[in-house]
């Protein structure tokens, strides 16, 4: 095989290797489902169905007041159960809560469908 043939083969193998790398780069991870939220005056109890995957490390809970532009992390440490109490909320305010599963491979799921409630 001549020099041009070796170069063509190297380019093909490189292309195939990169295609396999890109295809395997982002594994598919399920997000938590059945998220519910129950508000009191300044707290909310958020619960969800566990993700059925042995590689789940835990969950992050995100909160957003109706007037806020985006979600903020509500927990300071990874939640390892399927419920979390969010504290420090303002009374008389509508909130949305979403949950993200975190996996031991360093990836995270998409955010769940948010649950909403209004503090009293």
* CATH number of the domain encompassing residue 52: 2.60.40.10
Closest CA to 32 of 115, 110, 120, 118: 110
Which of 71, 73, 75 is closest to 96 using CA atoms?
71
The dihedral sign for the CA sequence 99, 101, 107, 110: negative
User: Is residue 20 over pLDDT 60?
Assistant: no
Residue 22 lies in a domain: no
Domain count, the chain: 1
User: Is 27 contained in some domain?
Assistant: no
Domain enclosing residue 67, as ranges = 33-118
Do the strands 83-86 and 44-49 form a parallel or antiparallel pair, or are they unpaired? antiparallel
Q: Per the domain annotation, does 19 fall within a domain? A: no
Asked whether residue 12 is assigned to any structural domain, the reply reads no
Contact yes or no for 95/119 (Cβ under 8 A): yes
> 11 pLDDT band (50/70/90 cuts)?
very low
Please state, in angstroms and rounded to a whole number, the distance separating the CA atoms of residues 29 and 31. Answer: 7
pLDDT tens figures, 51-92: 999 999 999 999 999 999 999 999 999 999 999 999 999 999
pLDDT at 22: 39
Q: Is residue 82 part of a domain?
A: yes
Task: With beta carbons less than 8 A apart as the criterion, state whether 62 and 98 touch.
Answer: yes
Q: Can you name the residues that pair with 100 across neighbouring β-strands? A: 60
Measured CA to CA, the distance from residue 30 to residue 25 in angstroms comes to 16
Q: Within a domain: residue 51? A: yes
Q: Answer yes or no: pTM beyond 0.85.
A: no
């Amino acid at each position: 095989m001549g020099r041009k043939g070796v170069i063509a083969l190297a380019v093909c193998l490189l292309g195939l290797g990169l295609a396999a790398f890109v295809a395997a780069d982002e594994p598919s991870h399920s997000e938590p489902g059945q998220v519910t939220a129950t508000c009191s005056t300044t707290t909310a109890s958020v619960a969800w169905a566990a993700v059925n995957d042995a590689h789940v490390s835990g969950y992050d809970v995100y909160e957003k007041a109706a007037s806020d532009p985006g979600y903020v992390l509500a927990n300071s440490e990874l939640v390892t159960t399927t419920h979390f109490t969010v504290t420090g909320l303002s009374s008389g305010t509508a909130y949305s809560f979403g949950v993200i599963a975190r996996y031991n491979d360093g990836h995270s799921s998409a955010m769940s469908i948010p649950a909403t409630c209004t503090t009293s």
